[in-house]
Amino acid sequence: RKEVEQDPGPFNVPEGATVAFNCTYSNSASQSFFWYRQDCRKEPKLLMSVYSSGNEDGRFTAQLNRASQYISLLIRDSKLSDSATYLCVGPSGGSYIPTFGRGTSLIVHP
Amino acid sequence: DAGVIQSPRHEVTEMGQEVTLRCKPISGHDYLFWYRQTMMRGLELLIYFNNNVPIDDSGMPEDRFSAKMPNASFSTLKIQPSEPRDSAVYFCASSSAGTSGRARYEQYFGPGTRLTVT
C-alpha cells in the first residue's frame, strides 16, 4: 500500500463552489504534511503546510485528522485559476523521506 | 533568487545513448532531491542528498541510473544506457532543513527535464 493516497478525480466544479480533497496516510507516526499545487506541464509548487491545529490561507484551509489518518484541503469560492492538480506530501516512515500522493485533479469551469 | 535551475529542458535521445541531466539548487539549500514523474506512477523520489552526500538512493530504478553532487551548487543524474521506459519528466528540488527540520519538506522544484527515449 502506498504511504500517501489520494482520489485522482477529476473534481469538476463551477466557479464559486466549495470543494474539498482528502489524502490518507498509512504511517500513524507521521507529523509533517504539505499540499502542493501542480499546473499542467509545470513543476509542483508548495501551496501550504498542514498543522495539527489547522491552517488557513485566504480561501484555502488545510486540516489534519490524526484519528482517521487523513489530511484535507478545502477551497472556498473556487476560481478558474484554481484548476490544477493538488498533491499531498508526507514523510515516509521515520526516515523523513518525503512521499508524494498521486495528486487530485481539479477543474473549475465557468 | 533564480530558483532551481535544470538543464536541458527537453531531451530526445535514442535507446542505448547516455543521458545527463543537470541541476543547480537554490543557494544555501542543503537538501537536493531528484524525482521522476510519469502518468502511470506519479511523482517518485529517486535519490536525495544532504550537504552533497547521498542519503537515500533506494528509489533509483536500477544500475543504469547514477547521481552525483560534486559541490553544493551542482548535481547530475545520469542514465546509461537509456531505454524507452525511462521517458518521463525528471525534476530536481531543493530545500533547507531550517531550525525545525520540517523545512526539508518545503521543497522548491526546478522546471523539469522532459526526457523522451525512442
pLDDT tens sequence across B57-93: 989 988 999 999 999 999 999 999 999 999 999 999 9
Would the pLDDT of B26 be above 70? yes
Task: State the burial class of residue A34 (Cβ atoms within 10 Å of its Cβ: 0-12, 13-18, 19+).
Answer: buried
Q: How far is A77 from chain B (nearest CA, A)?
A: 26
pLDDT at A33: 86
CA within 13 Å, CB half, A98: 32
Closest in A32, A34, A43 to B109, CB measured = A43
Q: Which residues from chain A sit within 8 angstroms of residue B107, using beta carbons?
A: 44, 46, 98
Q: Which residues from chain B sit within 8 angstroms of residue A95, using beta carbons?
A: 56
Q: How far is A85 from chain B (nearest CA, A)?
A: 11
User: Which grid cell is B31?
Assistant: 537538501
